[in-house]
Structure 1
Amino acid sequence: MAAARGLVERGRRAAAGVARGAALAALTALAGLTAGAPARADLSDDAARVARMWSLSGARVARLPPIFVEHGRLRVLAIDPPPAGAAGASGSAGASGAAGPKAEECLTVAFLAPRIVDFTLEPESSSGELSALEGLVHRLRGQDPEDERRIHSVAGAAALVRCGDARETLRRVALEVLSPRGAFEVVVAASSGPPERLESILPERVSGPVAPRGDPGRPAEPGPLEARVARAARRARVEGAPRVAPLDMRASTVGTGQFSVKLPEGCHRLDLMAEVPGAAVRRATDLDAEAREAGTGRLLDRDRSDAPDARLDFCLGEPGVVEVPFLGAAGPVKVVLSDAQWPMPPHVPGYFGARARGNLAAALKRRHAPAPRAQAIAEAVGAQGDTLVPVQVEPGRCYFAAAALARGEMRALRISVEVGDRAGRDDAGEGGEGAGVAFCSEVEESAALRVSARGGSPVWVLSVWPMD
């Protein structure tokens, strides 16, 4: 009997040892995972770290409730010294029953936001505005008097410190967000002297000195004019342009001029190239140009890049005269305008007007879509705002939808499509008046198209073509 009890006791001890070993292994594995995991910190962690470090130095610390501020909305916060006994706890800094601050104490308020947020702080002095003499001195120095009191954030952090009687200037602090928006943590501290700086507590928010801009050297030489003209023509023919028509003129003594050309309907690419003088000392060649409808002055395209040559792409719904002013040639040199022409795609409707027809063609060409081989299966007309256009489609077939401005002024134009669980969209871009998106149906029999238009009384048209 005793032997049996001893055997049972030895079994219990062995089981307990196994259990302790398993627990120790689990803790070791968990510790390894914790040690190997990357350190992560958010805005609340940064605020807690600042409050903890200031508390360890003997300061009374309080964290205000987090706030969210939009761009353009000035936020004024009332700042009170933390109550006696506060040590980094969240809540209002102005709790009742607080002991009065000492005359020599310092009051510090820190604002923390995500590092990409840019903002300014400005204390509202109880004594009012700067004196007339101080304002005059600042203006004579070419300074804004308000900048003397305004603190700019660095990497999403800024702090204000005032000691003695100057603490009263921190009773109200104006927060202005220069970024689109931002969330903020606010930490307030009262201490016998200035507390530890934010740069020491949050070294990851310190930005180093800005390196001076380097010298990129002289602009690249574009090469001989004849070779560039031939290269532009070859590129256009490779892309399917059946006709390339060159035209030349001589620029003025300051490198400016204007072409006035009559163009047929269809899509055009105008390459403007200027001759490079052979003199060693000369102005750099950097042509900037734009294309406008003669008579109406409507902008068709603009090129203000830093490239030596200019390129303009647009489509015309009917023949017309286009004016092409330019500048940036190196003096009175030869300037060539090379017009690559593509015919108007078939089945692009003209009954919406020449402007809409040209913009629909531009949407097709911009997205490198093949020319439609059949009439549109759906068309719509809309105005300002968001418009939903449901379209019936055939399973297993692909389509191209284009939205184009017909009248008015356009600031933004977007077309989007949803087919089942798939979606796509396209934006016309700055100055653009046409956008297009391709989509395919697998088993769906309908698609949801949405056109978003913003501008001055815009009127747009929509066409949906089946694609082979």
Structure 2
Amino acid sequence: MAAARGLVERGRRAAVGAARGAALAGLTALAGLTVGAPARADLSDDAARVARMWSLSGARVARLPPIFIEHGRLRVLAIDPPPAGAAAVAGASGVAGSAGASGAAGASGASGAAGPKAEECLTVAFLAPRIVDFTLEPESSSGELSALEGLVHRLRGQDPEDERRIHSVAGAAAIVRCGDARETLGRVALEVLSPRGAFEVVVAASSGPPERLEAILPERVSGPVAPRGDPGRPAEPGPLDARVARAARRARAEGAPRVAPLDMRASTVGTGQFSVKLPEGCHRLDLMAEVPSATVRRATDLDAEAREAGTGRLLDRDRSDAPDARLDFCLGEPGVVEVPFLGAAGPVKVVLSDAQWPMPPHVPGYFGARARGNLAAALKRRHAPAPRAQAIAEAVGAQGDTLVPVEVEPGRCYFAAAALVRGEMRALRISVEVGDRAARDDAGEGGEGAGVAFCSDVEESAALRVSARGGSPVWVLSVWPMD
């Protein structure tokens, strides 16, 4: 009897265990369905969603190959309407067909057309990560500018075609042109305002404007932008003579042995250009404009730039909101410098005050005048004293990262400067490691020289690294001992 009861109990436990195992297997399978394929949205998914929605509305859709653009690199893309019969296929994976691929015709029967209709619309959408800022502009909308107009816009940091450009919102922008206006989308200029960005491009041809990106990608819609406040009128700079005298006193207090003023009268629109022959060495040009006595007048806000005559190489630029402009640069040899300006309040007197510092001794000239001026500029920008001895180490390098080991004397300080010799520089950095200490300096936007000071305690060597990025740059490194 007891044996029978034990047998029944064992059978009941086995049945319960089997039921629990089946339930656990079911839960595991359900969990695999829910977490095995997590929801994910990336750039390619967004482009596929746009292409699928436009295709379902009857448009002929094509996706161009993805592109990647660095800041400062303008890319012009040729935009061709998707051929007849091309469509983005919304399959199980939701991935749109590539450009030129044939697929099912849309609901409107667009695939049956022999070619683009006269009233058809052409749409091109650019999608990037949401943090990327960029602009679009049909290339045919840009016109020729006069030299003065181009100068005015460059100095103010403005683009005369800015109102024709389409700015991205949360990494997305689209252009729609219908009828004869489709020809303006033959080539589209893409400019990246962020450091860099990857882009997906979707092109659609439809009988009318397709669904807006904001409706397809609501997560990219931004809220309303608050209006800018009114800061009021700019502050008056004061009498011209007092400002010129103040600039000269400031330069002499910083060790400038000579300050040479030069004046001219601006045009009726407040523009003009100085052309001055300057000796070798470092210069600070202060541009100051007279304030008219009339009650109603334009604000005084001089913007200027300095360029080498002949080559047109930019030496410095001032686009600040200050009433006066200031330009700092160094010349490795005497030369003529052109200084165009704008922002004066009409045909008033404009003064250029040139504060001059001599070329520091022991700055080598055998690398060329450009390198000599850039090395001197690195010394002056870091307020380093003039070297009193020849460089203990020199090196020449090119694009990329270059490690330069240097022997140093314990208990002594040094200054290392890297300067562009030729080519175009987009970024220049010099860094040094001495023991467990490190320091670095960047040339900054438009700069062609960088310098860093360092000292050795007990170390007998230092590791210097120069990083250069640009268009075929060639640089030189000099290391001077400092007292």
Please indicate the TM-score interval, normalised by the length of the shorter structure: 0.5 to 0.7
Deviations 1:101-120 (A, max 9, x none): 99999999999999968999
> Pick from 186, 189, 193: which aligns with 1:174?
189
Any conservation in 1 of the 2:155–2:305 contact (CA below 8 Å)? no
Any conservation in 2 of the 1:121–1:173 contact (CA below 8 Å)? yes
Specify whether residues 249 and 39 from structure 1 end up closer, same or farther in structure 2 by C-alpha distance, changes over 3 A only. Answer: same
Specify whether residues 397 and 146 from structure 1 end up closer, same or farther in structure 2 by C-alpha distance, changes over 3 A only. Answer: closer
SS of structure 1 residue aligned to 2:180:
helix
Specify whether residues 191 and 132 from structure 1 end up closer, same or farther in structure 2 by C-alpha distance, changes over 3 A only. Answer: farther
Specify whether residues 193 and 135 from structure 1 end up closer, same or farther in structure 2 by C-alpha distance, changes over 3 A only. Answer: farther
- 1:17 & 1:241 partners in 2: Cα distance? 94
SS of structure 2 residue aligned to 1:134:
helix
Any conservation in 2 of the 1:397–1:442 contact (CA below 8 Å)? yes
Any conservation in 2 of the 1:64–1:91 contact (CA below 8 Å)? no
Q: CA deviation at 1:94?
A: 30
Larger mean CA deviation between 349-358 and 56-65 belongs to 56-65
- 2:330 & 2:156 partners in 1: Cα distance? 54
SS of structure 2 residue aligned to 1:267:
strand
Any conservation in 1 of the 2:62–2:100 contact (CA below 8 Å)? no
Specify whether residues 88 and 176 from structure 1 end up closer, same or farther in structure 2 by C-alpha distance, changes over 3 A only. Answer: farther
Specify whether residues 354 and 98 from structure 1 end up closer, same or farther in structure 2 by C-alpha distance, changes over 3 A only. Answer: closer
Any conservation in 2 of the 1:51–1:88 contact (CA below 8 Å)? no
Q: CA deviation at 1:457?
A: 2.0
- 1:29 & 1:269 partners in 2: Cα distance? 75
Deviations 1:56-96 (A, max 9, x none): 99999999999999999999999999999999999999999
Any conservation in 1 of the 2:155–2:303 contact (CA below 8 Å)? no
- Under a length normalisation based on structure 2, what TM-score does the superposition of the two structures give? 0.58
Deviations 1:414-449 (A, max 9, x none): 111111121111111111111001111111111111
- 1:188 & 1:113 partners in 2: Cα distance? 15
Q: CA deviation at 1:456?
A: 2.1
Question: Which runs of at least 4 in structure 1 moved beyond 2 Å after TM superposition?
Answer: 1-211
- 1:42 & 1:36 partners in 2: Cα distance? 18
Any conservation in 2 of the 1:292–1:298 contact (CA below 8 Å)? yes
- 1:150 & 1:191 partners in 2: Cα distance? 23
SS of structure 1 residue aligned to 2:31:
helix
Specify whether residues 217 and 73 from structure 1 end up closer, same or farther in structure 2 by C-alpha distance, changes over 3 A only. Answer: closer
SS of structure 2 residue aligned to 1:96:
helix
Q: What do you get for the CA RMSD once the two structures are aligned?
A: 10.0
Any conservation in 2 of the 1:60–1:86 contact (CA below 8 Å)? no
Any conservation in 2 of the 1:251–1:329 contact (CA below 8 Å)? yes
- 2:326 & 2:103 partners in 1: Cα distance? 61
SS of structure 2 residue aligned to 1:154:
coil
Any conservation in 2 of the 1:245–1:338 contact (CA below 8 Å)? yes
Q: Which residue of 1 aligns with 2:296?
A: 281
SS of structure 2 residue aligned to 1:44:
helix
Specify whether residues 65 and 284 from structure 1 end up closer, same or farther in structure 2 by C-alpha distance, changes over 3 A only. Answer: closer
Any conservation in 1 of the 2:56–2:107 contact (CA below 8 Å)? no
- How many pairs align? 468
- 1:253 & 1:165 partners in 2: Cα distance? 42
Q: CA deviation at 1:150?
A: 19
Specify whether residues 394 and 106 from structure 1 end up closer, same or farther in structure 2 by C-alpha distance, changes over 3 A only. Answer: same
Deviations 1:272-325 (A, max 9, x none): 000010001111111111111122221111111111111100001111111111
Larger mean CA deviation between 8-17 and 405-414 belongs to 8-17
Structure whose alpha-carbon radius of gyration is higher = 1
Larger mean CA deviation between 220-229 and 5-14 belongs to 5-14
Q: CA deviation at 1:257?
A: 1.1
Structure 2: give runs of 5+ residues left out of the alignment: 84-98
Specify whether residues 170 and 17 from structure 1 end up closer, same or farther in structure 2 by C-alpha distance, changes over 3 A only. Answer: farther
- 2:156 & 2:284 partners in 1: Cα distance? 52
Any conservation in 1 of the 2:214–2:220 contact (CA below 8 Å)? yes
Q: CA deviation at 1:210?
A: 3.5
- 1:388 & 1:167 partners in 2: Cα distance? 53
Any conservation in 1 of the 2:57–2:107 contact (CA below 8 Å)? no
- 1:126 & 1:280 partners in 2: Cα distance? 40
- Structure 1 vs Structure 2: percent identity of aligned residues? 96
Any conservation in 2 of the 1:383–1:457 contact (CA below 8 Å)? yes
Specify whether residues 335 and 190 from structure 1 end up closer, same or farther in structure 2 by C-alpha distance, changes over 3 A only. Answer: closer
SS of structure 2 residue aligned to 1:90:
coil
- 2:154 & 2:328 partners in 1: Cα distance? 49
Any conservation in 2 of the 1:65–1:90 contact (CA below 8 Å)? no
Deviations 1:96-149 (A, max 9, x none): 999999999999999999996899999999999999999999999999999999
SS of structure 2 residue aligned to 1:332:
coil
Any conservation in 1 of the 2:426–2:469 contact (CA below 8 Å)? yes
SS of structure 1 residue aligned to 2:339:
strand
Any conservation in 2 of the 1:317–1:358 contact (CA below 8 Å)? yes
Q: CA deviation at 1:261?
A: 1.0
SS of structure 2 residue aligned to 1:89:
coil
SS of structure 1 residue aligned to 2:263:
strand
Specify whether residues 343 and 124 from structure 1 end up closer, same or farther in structure 2 by C-alpha distance, changes over 3 A only. Answer: closer
- 1:138 & 1:408 partners in 2: Cα distance? 25
Larger mean CA deviation between 248-257 and 93-102 belongs to 93-102
SS of structure 2 residue aligned to 1:244:
strand
Specify whether residues 467 and 20 from structure 1 end up closer, same or farther in structure 2 by C-alpha distance, changes over 3 A only. Answer: farther
Any conservation in 1 of the 2:56–2:106 contact (CA below 8 Å)? no
